Amino acid sequence: MTTYPRTSNGMWSFIHDSSYVWPPENITDVKFYFNKRKKLTLTPNKRKTAKITLKNKVKKNYTLQTAVYSEFTGTEFNNKFKKHELIFETTAIPAETQIIGTPKIHIKYKSNANICQFNFQIFEVKADNTVNFINRINYTDRYCIKNAIRTKDIEGLSFAHQFSPGSKLRLVVTNLDTTPDDFDFLGTNPHVLPVMTKSRSKIYIKDTYIELPLRGFSSDNMIAGNEPNVRLYQNYPNPFKDRKSTRLN
């Protein structure tokens, strides 16, 4: 499995492991829900209608062929296609945690177009804010019904990775699947070809989550982005009760 540190040429270090069964023992499927304020949490958003919007801004008559010829870069591409990202992140993971298996996305959405695309990029963010790409999940709905609410379960690429203590899990949702880590192989080209139809896709965050097969994870020592419960109690005794007003002359 991949892990820190990165080598001098930018490659991950590797830990060798084996198992006689699949999935390996002590794996727990953990759901991290999308939430407001760029958070991934262990509990869903309380508001049933809470939504976020992924925008796919494409100028009229700008074609995929033209974008391919330009290798998705340059002045014309940047003026006619806008990359959009929605970022979600857990709080720090206190102990070594391993992802072993296939990540899954459950998404509830609607789009104002008859085709839409969601690209999910998984990153590890170290305590020093170093960000490195780990894996991805891609989905294109080519049979989308305009403004109809739809749900979909999407499997990503199976992999294994070990998070360092204190790191965070970051999930980026984007309309253009490019990352700096892809440059040596793909250059400026995306991992999958984008949709060239202008659209606004609403994601219902209460019912949208990423499910990860984790080993070494405990919800007892990590509340992934949840806010602490804060209560305000009345001051007692009330210092203002029965106090006579004083008039200043």
What's the pLDDT at 235? 46
CA distance 27 to 212: 10
Q: Which of 103, 221, 223, 217 is nearest to 154 (CA)?
A: 103
Q: Is 183 helix (H, G, I), strand (E, B) or coil?
A: helix
Cα torsion 234, 237, 243, 248 to 10°: value is -70
- Tell me the whole-structure pTM to 2 decimals: 0.86
pLDDT above 60 for 28:
yes
Across 50-59, 109-118, 172-181, 222-231, least confident range: 222-231
Q: Is 24 helix (H, G, I), strand (E, B) or coil?
A: coil
What's the pLDDT tens digit per position in 80-94? 999 999 999 999 998
pLDDT above 50 for 46:
yes
Across 4-18, 52-66, 145-159, 231-245, least confident range: 231-245
The mean per-residue pLDDT over the stretch 35-60 comes to 93
What's the pLDDT at 37? 86
Q: Which of 168, 106, 165 is nearest to 134 (CA)?
A: 168
**DSSP assigned state of 79:** H
pLDDT confidence tier of residue 222, bands split at 50, 70 and 90 = low
Q: Which of 159, 172, 163 is nearest to 217 (CA)?
A: 163
What's the pLDDT at 218? 80
Q: Which of 136, 141, 140 is nearest to 186 (CA)?
A: 136
Average model confidence (pLDDT) across the chain: 88
pLDDT above 80 for 16:
yes
What's the pLDDT at 229? 42
The mean per-residue pLDDT over the stretch 105-126 comes to 97
b/e per residue, 175-210, with b = 16+ CB within 10 A? Answer: bbbbbebbeeeeeebbeeebbbeebebbbbbbbbbb
What's the pLDDT tens digit per position in 130-177? 999 999 999 999 999 999 999 999 999 899 999 999 999 999 999 999
What's the pLDDT tens digit per position in 170-187? 999 999 999 998 988 999
Cα torsion 198, 116, 125, 159 to 10°: value is -150
- Reported as type and span, the H/E element at residue 64 is helix 64-69
* Residue whose tokens read 């793909």: 186
Residue 96 CB burial class (10 angstroms; 0-12, 13-18, ≥19) = middle
Q: Are 150 and 144 spatial neighbours (Cβ–Cβ below 8 Å)?
A: yes
CA distance 53 to 84: 10
